[in-house]
């Protein structure tokens, strides 16, 4: 199964249509902001792998806020990225949308990889990118 576009995401049920839900959209954005704050606290504590995880989670929840607003339920992280890239590329700069996929891969390596151990610089970049991403999502709402 190779996912290349939003049509594939719906075909393979990684995205599904649901009624638009402003409450879930708002809650998801609130969670994103909380995860950003948690990421900042963890950075101060020097736990860099967790900063990467929390920063990505902030981006993921911010992205889901747009999906809930649009009446879309995700069933896969990559599908969220594909949806944003195709649907919001005129409202959100593509290089910022790409942050979601970059840090999705980084999160995966931090969680499951054997060789990757995030350093302070990785954590700082992940947090900066997450802040920018969440701000852009808010503008697009």
Output the tens digit of pLDDT for each of the chain's 141 residues.
Answer: 688 899 999 999 999 999 999 999 999 999 999 999 999 999 999 999 999 999 999 999 999 999 999 999 999 999 999 999 999 999 999 999 999 999 999 999 998 988 889 999 999 999 999 999 999 999 999
- Is 73 a domain residue? yes
- Is 94 a domain residue? yes
Q: Is 16 in a helix, a strand, or coil?
A: strand
- Is 72 a domain residue? yes
Number of separate domains in the chain:
1
Q: Which domain holds residue 114?
A: 20-140
- Is 113 a domain residue? yes
- Is 13 a domain residue? no
- Is 114 a domain residue? yes
- Is 24 a domain residue? yes
Phi/psi of residue 90, nearest 5 degrees? -95, -15
User: Does pTM top 0.85 for this prediction?
Assistant: yes
- Is 109 a domain residue? yes
CATH number of domain containing 25:
1.20.120.330
| pLDDT for position 1 | 66
| pLDDT for position 124 | 97
From the number of C-beta atoms within 10 Å of its C-beta (0-12, 13-18, 19+), residue 10 rates as: middle
Which one, of 33, 13, 10, 1, lies nearest residue 86 by Cα? 10
Quote the CA–CA distance of 63 and 80 in Å, as a whole number. Answer: 7
């Amino acid at each position: 199964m190779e996912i290349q576009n939003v049509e594939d995401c719906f075909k393979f049920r990684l995205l599904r249509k649901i009624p638009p839900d402003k409450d879930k959209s708002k809650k998801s954005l609130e969670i994103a902001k909380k995860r950003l704050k948690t990421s900042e606290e963890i950075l101060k504590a020097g736990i860099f792998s967790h900063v990467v995880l929390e920063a990505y989670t902030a981006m993921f929840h911010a992205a889901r806020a747009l999906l809930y607003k649009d009446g879309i339920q995700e069933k896969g992280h990559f599908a969220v990225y594909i949806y944003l890239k195709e649907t919001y590329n005129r409202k959100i700069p593509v290089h910022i949308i790409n942050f979601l996929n970059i840090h999705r891969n980084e999160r995966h390596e931090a969680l499951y990889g054997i060789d990757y151990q995030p350093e302070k610089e990785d954590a700082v970049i992940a947090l900066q990118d997450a802040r920018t991403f969440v701000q852009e999502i808010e503008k697009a709402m």
